Amino acid sequence: MKRQTSQLLREAEDRCRQSGRQWTAQRADVLAVMADQTGPVTAYELLDAIKSVHPNPKPATVYRALEFFMELGLVHKLDSANRFVLCSHQHQHHTAQFLICDGCGHVDEIPVPAKLLDVLEEQSARLDFEMADKGLEIHGHCSNCRHQH
Ligand SMILES: [Zn+2]
Ligand SMILES: [Zn+2]
């Protein structure tokens, strides 16, 4: 379910101000372009898309904006695919969980019960392992891709 870009920007601005950070036009542009994408994008694809708004975007500005939105929980990075995607759950969760299609690259963000994270934490504590990133990335094939074959 895609929220309207203007609403997304308002929410992002609110979240930004609540955390005492600065909301800038550049950041708003990056998020707006991000919202126009149909799925997860690489930093290069995003930079390319931003050219429709700014003729000469600075890569560093775009990367910094992405990092900023990741800190706010509005954007997630899919490490295994090296792509960025908007949070689709308004971040009522502490980590991000993704189903990634290896066929078409489609990604769904799914809510995972706190219970599952508790189990993971328990198991890693038993091995005295400290988890840094609790995001789960699950690879497979989506319904569309499977039914084409
Ligand atoms: Zn999320
Ligand atoms: Zn697929």
Residue 84's pLDDT band (boundaries 50, 70, 90)?
Answer: very high
Look at residue 64 and tell me whether its pLDDT is greater than 90.
Answer: yes
Q: Which CATH superfamily is domain 97-148 in?
A: Ferric-uptake regulator, C-terminal dimerisarion domain (3.30.1490.190)
Domain ranges of the chain: 5-86, 97-148
**Residue type for position 10:** R
Rounded to whole angstroms, the Cα distance separating 62 from 59 reads: 5
Tell me the CA–centroid distance for residue 16 and ligand 2, in Å. 34
Tell me the CA–centroid distance for residue 111 and ligand 1, in Å. 8
Mean predicted confidence (pLDDT) in 55-82: 89
Express each pLDDT in 95-139 by its tens digit: 778 999 999 999 999 877 778 888 989 999 999 999 887 778 999
Tell me the CA–centroid distance for residue 35 and ligand 1, in Å. 14
Rounded to whole angstroms, the Cα distance separating 63 from 24 reads: 14
Closest CA to 110 of 122, 127, 98, 94: 98
Topology of domain 5-86 in CATH is: Arc Repressor Mutant, subunit A (1.10.10)
Instruction: Map residue 87 onto helix, strand or coil.
Output: coil
Rounded to whole angstroms, the Cα distance separating 129 from 123 reads: 9
- Give the ligand whose atoms come closest to the C-alpha of residue 69: 1
Over the chain, what is the mean pLDDT? 87
Instruction: Map residue 56 onto helix, strand or coil.
Output: coil
Tell me the CA–centroid distance for residue 55 and ligand 1, in Å. 30
Mean predicted confidence (pLDDT) in 72-81: 88
Binding residues, by number, are 101, 104, 142, 145
Look at residue 3 and tell me whether its pLDDT is greater than 70.
Answer: no
